Structure 1
Amino acid sequence: MEDMRALSYGLGQQYFEERDYRGAIRALAPIVEETPEDVGTRLLLARAYYHAALLKPAEEQLREVLQREPTESYAHLMMARTLERQSRADEAGKHRRIVAALTGDEDHLQPHRP
């Protein structure tokens, strides 16, 4: 079973790198269901949802990541960007302030310009 998870994760990573975000979602979602404590895979799944413009599922995955790892600065940054894309700048600001505090980089206080 571990071999299948590793294979699916590798496939999900490959799809993500090739910018086939929906393919990455198909490969990674079953892993997250099977091993919900795997924050790394869940974060990659959230990123795939974000890049596929599936913002609600991205937000859900990021909330799970942050519940398990509240000091994961990249998850806070992704959450800020996800909320900004949903026109929820006030909520995003909280996550930007957390990223700036965790990293010491005040550039994170500025909204992302795609």
Structure 2
Amino acid sequence: MTTTFDRYRFAQVLLDGGEPLEALALLQPVEEEIDGNAAALLLLGRAYFRSAQLERAREAFARVVALDPTDTYARFLLGRALERQSRLGEAQVQYRVAVAMSDRPEYRERLDEVTGRLEPDGG
């Protein structure tokens, strides 16, 4: 019998191997069961994001942020999903929070990129 944890671990291997749809096939049946687990929701969101299911990715990342508002990686990924949906103002907010809590260069790069695209003169 496959446990939820087994599904999670195998889905992680599949996603890391570039197979987001296969990872989703393992995670979606237990989505309600993992709803309160930030790590599992983050993995689910990453699988949605990598398979270009941006609204579902946004929802999963937003649930992670609701569970742990200090998770800078979840905020960064929420910003990425919003940015890919052309919701630049909302993405900028998430990037700003991530940058304020972490000095990771990729967070600053995304914030600067989105901020430049939001400025009237294009940067």
- TM-score bracket, normalised by the shorter chain, equals 0.7 to 0.9
CA distance 1:51–1:111, change in 2 (3 Å): farther
Matched, 1:102 2:101: yes
2-side partners of 1:75 and 1:30: how far apart? 22
**Between the two proteins, what is the percent identity of the paired residues?**
32
* Equivalent AA in structure 1 for residue 31 of structure 2: V
**Post-superposition offset of 1:53:** 0.4
Structure 2 distance, partners of 1:13, 1:70, is: 23
Would you say the 8 A contact 1:31–1:41 is kept in 2?
no
Give the drift of 1:105.
Answer: 4.7
- What does residue 33 of structure 2 align with? 34
* Counterpart Cα distance in 1 of 2:41 and 2:54: 14
Residues 7 and 27 of structure 2 are in contact (CA less than 8 Å); yes or no, is this contact kept in structure 1?
A: yes
Corresponding residue for 2:113?
111
For residues 10-89 of structure 1, what are the structure 2 equivalents within 5 Å? 10-89=9-88
1:31 to partner: Cα distance: 3.2
Query: Per-residue deviation at 1:30?
Result: 2.9
Where does structure 2 lack aligned partners over 5 or more consecutive residues?
115-123
Which residues of structure 1 form unaligned runs of 5+? Answer: none
- TM-score normalized with structure 2 length: 0.81
Kindly name which structure, 1 or 2, has the bigger radius of gyration based on alpha carbons: 2
Q: Which one is further off, 97-106 or 36-45?
A: 97-106
Equivalent position SS for 1:110: helix
Query: Whole-Å Cα distance in 2 between the matches of residues 30 and 104 of structure 1?
Result: 36
